[in-house]
Amino acid sequence: MNNPTPRLMIILLTLLLAMVLLSGYLRNAEAREVFNPHALEIDNPGQPVADLSTFAESGGQLPGTYRVTVFVNGEKQGDAQDIAFTDGAEKKLSPQITPAMLKAWGVKTDVFPALAALPPDQPLDDIGRYIPMATTDLRFSKLQLNVSIPQAALSTAARGWVDPSEWDEGVPAALLNYNLSGSNTWRDGENGSDDNYYANLQSGINLGAWRLRNYSTWNYDEDNGSHWDSVNTYLQRDIQRLKGQLTLGDSYTPSDIFDSVQFRGAQLASDDNMLPDSLRGFAPVIRGIAQSNAQVTIKQNGYIIYQSYVAPGAFTISDLYPTSGSGDLEVTIKEADGSERTFIQPFSAVPIMQREGRLKYAITAGKYRSGNDDSDEPQFGQVTAIYGLPHAITVYGGTLYSDDYQSGAAGLGFGLGELGSLSADITAAHTTLNNGDSHNGQSYRVQYSKDFQTTDTSFTLAAYRYSTAGFYTFQESNDLRADSDEGWQMTYNKRQRLQLDLSQSIGSYGSFFISGYQQDYWQEDGYERTLSAGWNGNIDGISYSVTWSYSDYPDSTQPADQQLAFNIQVPLSRFMPNAWASYSVNTAKHGDTRQQVGLNGTTLADNNLSYSLQQSYTNHGVGGSGNINADYKGGQGEITGGYNYDDDTQQVNYGDRKSVV
């Protein structure tokens, strides 16, 4: 075959090129389907047609104001808000974000000069012009605006932080929380009857930025008659610029560095929380064993802060309202026969630690207050400060001054990573007692805490303290008097103090706890010592517990008190919904052994009503006893009632707890 001529080759190449170009055009034409808006004129010739080109693009929408939810780097920024949108590139809407919005979202607007120079309400067509690499994306189907901001441009405020300018002082209101309890006891023979009543009142008034609060207790018994205590009365308001609170009236000093003391005066202190009053600060769990239907009374700094009634066996109290940041709790168990047992529950804090850059402070001036009638009450001033340094280090210190007492303290706290946290400090004090004797001394303290999450272990060495013979706390210097005959607690200063708490969960098998406390005093033999240990378990829905307690005191005429209690609960769901049977036995080393069977449960639509019926028998000729108790929790409060008896005694107890606004 002859070779094609050059002219023919040119013609063929031209035709081939034309086909390639035509096919590409056709493909593009097929990939883009365009609606001809003039088709809308078929029925209405000459009628103006709306511009629908915006909707021809994916995600296209008309400009305007839309209520959208804003997310900055995936974190929601409050409730939905109205934001104006204008036409942007590629027919996409561009949000009209202002510098004020960016600041509210945590952007450090002051570090970008061009942005800082704009008025707060100036709309920004493109935030990427002012903040490099910042972008926005509107998800119209969800009405969600996603804003991407480089992390370096964001402030390091904690999650959930609210700008102080948006804080609300609240509305005017009058508040009253009360807890009333009482009992009426009838005894055979010459002992006659015994009536006991207790009231715990927490009232207040909110007006503008000021809050007036009062915490009062009232107690009545046959032996001591009626007694009313106004524990605290104070006027308080926030000082936003100082991130603190101003308190005027009766309150208490912080317990971080020095022991907390009650005062009447003024205090400016940083505010660490916004929790309800009943949940502010640390409150220990009180564990004990009652030999009978008993009354439990708890005192702190001479004031009765809690009173309730418990059935025989082991009990736990975890809803305390402490009056101050520290001050050991005196727990008294009054049995049905009138006998009393008392032990001390230590009340101290965990290691002193602060976040990096965080300052915690307190400045106090006023008059010392004591629950002891014969205590001195001098004027004093106190300053404390705690500051968080880099590398999980905390530095803290303080000073306290009065005419007859001066002290200073300094310490360090360390975050040890996986090993927990530890703080150590030293306090030096110069004391002049009321008999004219002067003393100088030092006190050394170490605190340690660690939660082992992998093993579900909580270990706390809440405090180990050693004090020299010449060291007195401010409270001791005022409560210890040369002419006092109130016993060892009013006579000697503390030497060593150790507190240990350990709890361990063993998976589905149960958990155990150990809680111990020991303290001794200068020029006094023996130890003030309490120790409790227990195990809680569950097998196929059957729960059980074993609890042991020990307590002893210096120069006590009675042997150390030891109690052992066992309890088992068996569900009765096959016969009675939300009900279970119980059996318990508790024995005292130098006392009686009591066995008890019972029926417990809850009823009503929301299980608002709980009840218990128990019958017991005690050896050594004590005989049988029984009790019935009920607790109703409604929308307006809580009501409790009970009846118990033994061979010689009958008692009715009742209580009412309510909040009124």
Phi, psi of 532 (to 5 degrees): -140, 145
Residue 213 exposure: Cα atoms within 13 Å on the Cβ side = 17
Return d(Cα 367, Cα 370) in angstroms, integer. 10
Q: In 3-state terms, what secondary structure has residue 50?
A: coil
DSSP 154: B
What pLDDT, in 10s, does the model give residues 173-194?
999 999 999 999 888 776 678 8
Mean pLDDT computed over 242-258:
88
Q: In 3-state terms, what secondary structure has residue 550?
A: strand
Least confident window among 40-54, 109-123, 498-512, 528-542 = 40-54
Phi, psi of 242 (to 5 degrees): -100, 5
With residue 344 as reference, give the H or E element that holds it.
Answer: strand 340-345
75 pLDDT above the threshold of 60: yes
What pLDDT, in 10s, does the model give residues 433-492?
877 889 999 999 998 877 554 455 556 566 788 999 999 999 888 876 645 444 333 457
What pLDDT, in 10s, does the model give residues 480-526?
664 544 433 345 788 998 888 888 777 777 888 888 889 888 888 88
Three-state secondary structure of 258-285:
CCCCEEEEEEEEECCCCCCHHHCCCCCC
CA dihedral 15, 16, 17, 23 (to 10 degrees): 110
Do the beta carbons of residue 211 and residue 235 sit within 8 Å?
yes
Q: In 3-state terms, what secondary structure has residue 615?
A: strand
In the chain, the N- to C-terminal Cα span, in Å, equals: 110
pLDDT at 418: 66
Do the beta carbons of residue 294 and residue 594 sit within 8 Å?
no
Q: 144-148 and 64-72: which strand pairing?
A: parallel
For CA atoms 38, 44, 50, 55, the dihedral sign is negative
Long-range contacts of 81-90 (CB under 8 A, 24+ apart): 83/145, 84/123, 85/61, 85/138, 86/125, 87/63, 88/125, 88/126, 90/57
Q: Where are the beta strands (DSSP E) in 149-209?
A: 173-187, 193-207
pLDDT at 248: 96
Q: In 3-state terms, what secondary structure has residue 153?
A: helix
Amino acid at 591: G
What pLDDT, in 10s, does the model give residues 198-209?
999 999 999 988
What is the pLDDT confidence band of residue 238, given thresholds at 50, 70 and 90?
A: confident
**Which range, 234-243, 315-324, 549-558, has the best average confidence (pLDDT)?**
234-243
Higher pLDDT, 535 or 106: 535
Return d(Cα 94, Cα 66) in angstroms, integer. 12
Do the beta carbons of residue 144 and residue 68 sit within 8 Å?
yes
What is the pLDDT confidence band of residue 350, given thresholds at 50, 70 and 90?
A: low
Beta-bridge mates of residue 329: 300, 345
Return d(Cα 262, Cα 492) in angstroms, integer. 21
CA 554 to chain centre: 35
- CB under 8 Å to 7, separation ≥6 — which residues? none
Its pTM stands at 0.62
Three-state secondary structure of 207-230:
ECCEEEEEEEEEEEECCCEEEEEE
For CA atoms 319, 458, 424, 388, the dihedral sign is negative
**Percent helix, strand and coil across the chain, each rounded to 5?**
15, 55, 35
Percentage of the chain exceeding pLDDT 70 = 78
Do the beta carbons of residue 594 and residue 618 sit within 8 Å?
yes
pLDDT at 489: 39
